[in-house]
Amino acid sequence: MSTSTTPAKSGFNLDRGVMLMASIITLTSVVLAAFVSPWWLLLTTFVGLNMLQASLTGWCPAALILKGFGVRSGCAFK
């Protein structure tokens, strides 16, 4: 019996994965804006706008990417 778990078999689902990706990209963008260039805040803006359109339409590019890696559906993105 293998003890390793893949994201598709653990409690990890698309909803949590999308939130994880959005938070990592947003926090990375803020750090880069603070230490490299304020232009990195455009990436934060893009992530925010993408989250807004995903909440309105139910279509999310990040969910499609994660689904391609075999992450199981959650209740928001199927």
Mean pLDDT of 11-29: 90
DSSP-derived letter for residue 10 is S
pLDDT of the residue at 75: 79
pLDDT of the residue at 72: 87
Query: How many angstroms separate the CA atoms of 78 and 73, rounded?
Result: 5
Helices (H), 8-60: 14-35, 41-57
Query: How many angstroms separate the CA atoms of 43 and 53, rounded?
Result: 15
Residue 32 pLDDT greater than 60, yes or no: yes
pLDDT of the residue at 58: 86
| Percent above pLDDT 70 for the chain | 83
Residue 10 pLDDT greater than 90, yes or no: no
